[in-house]
Amino acid sequence: MTGTAQQPGPSRASALEGIVIADFSRVLAAPYATMVLGDLGAEVVKVEQPGRGDETRTWGPPHFEGEATYFLSVNRNKMSVQIDLSTRAGREQARELIARADVVVENFKPGTMKKFGLDYESLGRDDLVYCSISGFGSGKGADLPGYDLLVQAVGGLMSMTGPGPYEPVKTGVALVDVLTGLHACVGILAALRHREATGQGQLVELDLLSVLLSSMVNQSAGFTLAGSIPKPMGNRHPSIAPYEVFPTADQPMVLAVGNDRQFRRLCSVLDVPELATDERFVTNSARVEHVDELFEVLSARLRTRPAQHWFETLTPLGVPCGPVNDIAHAFALAESLDLNPTATIGDMTLVANPIRLSRTPVTYRLRPPKLEQ
């Protein structure tokens, strides 16, 4: 089948310019999604409880000029309106907002929006894209609280994270919430594309548990395909070696050697070329099997020089490595690589949106709203 290539139309200022989002979300997963969509140009109206607002407004320290940085981290490019959904007048106000919206996003406990007459079915708009996010779905898991830490625990992530079987560890950030927010963005954008082609909206549903099971990728597939149940391995990888944290003369560093060629180069720089032909280490599978012995040999050599020395020596040779940075050094690294990791709105410096679009770049138009706005 052949066709005629269409010339691109005129660029808009922002990719989602003209899209209006009625944002009934709080805390992290859904607010992260609506912020990303706002960065891409959508008009986002955040609905908050009068006098109290989003729970994260009180989640501090740390604070920036009296405001919780947790709230500020996921609520830029939004306008705020206070609506009491428990009142008839408030529900009518919400309906008026939804009437001019293209997208509704909510992450209340399942059944809450139905109680208010604001669920997808009750609204009865065939062109509306409606995104609902829950912890464990709207069926048998509807009454379970959807907290990231809880999902990390019951969803299996903590069982494979940490130094040993009796020391489960959560990730250092609410990673499941963030992943769910990103999946919500994908679902919403897909639904908008479908509406553009057909005129029909649809219901987009996500739950934290399903997102986590999908996001554990190789570990999940190892179970579904081979019945393998991962165990905590500290900083090691179940299928690659050396791929973990090593000591140096001054600070920890990571080696992430992904193939035999990189391993040979590593051995040459560390002045132990014999390791590359040792039957215990000659292939990746062999190195995984003898990872404890490999760690001892490599650690002895790496301890002789600072982490920066190894980084500067190994990186040009294509051996992935780097120091274990704190967040300040991580931002400094991004700055040194001209990645522009921050964005300024007025006197506020926030983390930049990582999406780079050549025709319709993200914009930073509005600081996170104060409750009285």
Active-site residues, by number, are: 177
In Å, how far from its chain's centre is CA 126? Answer: 31
Structure tokens at 346: 């007025």
Place of tokens 């999604």: 33
Task: Note whether 226 and 233 are within 8 A (CB).
Answer: no
Place of tokens 């007459």: 117
Tokens of 52: 């109290």
Q: Burial of 13 by CB count in 10 Å (0-12 exposed, 13-18 middle, 19+ buried)?
A: exposed
Residue 371 and residue 78 in contact, taking contact as beta carbons nearer than 8 Å: no
Rounded Cα distance between 263 and 261, Å, is 5
* Long-range contacts from 50-55, C-beta under 8 angstroms, 24+ separation: 50/82, 50/83, 50/84, 51/82, 51/371, 53/80, 53/82, 53/371, 54/26, 54/27, 55/26, 55/27
Nearest to 295 by CA among 234, 249, 254, 246: 246
Among 30, 50, 42, 40, CA closest to 372? 50
